[in-house]
Amino acid sequence: MLDSAVRKPAASVSLKKQSEIFAFAENERIELADALSHFGKSLDDLVYEQSRKRVWTGGAPRSLEDFKGSQHHIPMVSFFTGCGGIDLGFEAAGFEHVAAFEFNELFCKTLRKNRPEWKVFGPPTDAGDVSKVSEVIAALEPIIPINFEGIFAGGPPCQPFSIASNQRFSKSGTNFKRVGFEHEKNGNLLFDYVSVIKHFRPACFLIENVPGLRDLDGGEQLSAAIKDLRKAGYEVETPTVLNAADYSVPQFRDRLFVIGTRTNRSIIFPTPDEMQYGAGSVLLQKQGKAPNTETRSHKLGSVQRYARLHYGQRDQLGRVDRLSPCRPSKTVIAGGTNGGGRSHLHPEIPRTLSVRECARLQTFPDNYTFVGPTARQFTQVGNAVPPVLAAQLGLSLARSIFGVN
């Protein structure tokens, strides 16, 4: 249950002063940023005209630091690692990171910057491409044995199966439809991943994706992959959708998990929390000196429209929503094929969220740095599994599959 209180947050500028700044920008025909600078203000000093009364009083959600008591050192290998959401969560839950495979060079730079001790297979030194199954096997064989007593974790790129990715930003072309397994490259990566699992036979595997993977083609493709894994000797749990908002993540985010094991133990998913956390639990604190505080530039007309919105209301032209501090955020998204999708609107400042604020909604720690142009930073954050959700899932698997106390 979400908690709220009624209090008017202190405004950086009065509505009268804000109107004066807007009028100055219009009359002088200058950018909003220049007008704000003229008055000694920034975008973060602006306020909404409506609904400035709600604050979050329910405390802070769990962070990765809350999971770092376990030191069982069960080995894990990740595939389609992205910026490392699953890996960070499993690391916090006590797993030993053996290797990661990621074919995007920019994402690899993010991984290496934050975790230089990890073995990252990816550009510029390696391909990191799971579709090259023989190369992946050759890279792993010197590191892990067949019948690997650890876990494989991976989420094949979800854009071909995602409604949000394909309908949120494009209205034409094949990208508007969920092309799924017909996608020229990413549609077959699930079966490539299955091939690697079957070769090394890890004690446990995890497949993560959007719920659309389960429903596409009437479920035939996912069913075929599961059938193949069961023939290889795995007990595979029924595909299960978890909403991150039920696991200390201040964001509504459904993710599909397919988990299998060749042990005789039962797979147990984490228990949902008793409450959900509002976006205000992480967005009302100042960003300070944290990295990746950049947001997009804002035109005067856009900010004027945003400033008139109530909590939860959508700007129809920009197709962005003002978040409420007392409800979990809408899903943080990566955008279309080229990345850099729009973020939501801050609950108390009439602007879109920064990369850091999106990362907070995804439960990345503030000291985790995302590399590359701002648009690609948004892509990395929006593609990730929330690390705190991954930590809870990892801890449940360590206990149920590997017998950790």
Helix (H, G, I), strand (E, B) or coil at 241: strand
Cα 82 from Cα 156, distance rounded (Å): 10
**CA–CA dist 283, 250 (Å, integer):** 10
* Closest to 263 (Cα-Cα) out of 141, 397, 389, 394: 397
Active-site position among 83, 108, 158, 326: 158
3-state secondary structure of 96: strand
> Is 158 a residue of the active site?
yes
Beta carbons within 8 Å of 9's beta carbon, 6+ residues apart: 52, 55, 284, 348
Check if the beta carbon of residue 81 is closer than 8 Å to that of residue 101. Answer: yes
> Of 196, 73, 96, whose CA–CA distance to 146 is shortest?
196
Cβ–Cβ < 8 Å for 61, 248: yes
Query: Which of 255, 182, 194, 202 lies closest to 223 in space, CA to CA?
Result: 194
Closest C-alpha among 323, 218, 335 to residue 277: 323
Which amino acids are annotated catalytic? 158
